Amino acid sequence: MADCIFCKIANGEIPSTKVYEDEHVLAFRDIHPLAPKHVVIIPKRHVQNLNEIDQLTEAEQLALLHACKKTAALAGIEVSGYRIASNCGPDADQSVQHLHFHVLGGGKLSVNMA
């Protein structure tokens, strides 16, 4: 999608601080972190949100889940704990219309799922 900021990041048109990458996904540091460790994981192929995940191949879907675990390990929060969140739609305050997961950790997280 031409005007999608996450597609532009995946295509290298907008710089990011990469944490992990494979053929299907890209993980990069969030520019407005909500936790000491905050990484965003996106599929390289555009789908709007979790409601459209079936448009991704099973390999792409599995790569997203694997990237969450791998990113937590690379961020050093695999043992201490982390949260994975994905906002889906306007009531959930999805700010970028490209499926993405937040991996948050690095300290005690509040109950608030902002």
Q: Which of 24, 46, 100, 102 is catalytic?
A: 100
Q: Write the DSSP string, 25-90.
A: EEEEE-SS-SSSEEEEEEESS---SGGGGGGS-HHHHHHHHHHHHHHHHHTT-TTT-EEEE---SG
98 classed as catalytic: no
Catalytic residue ranges: 100
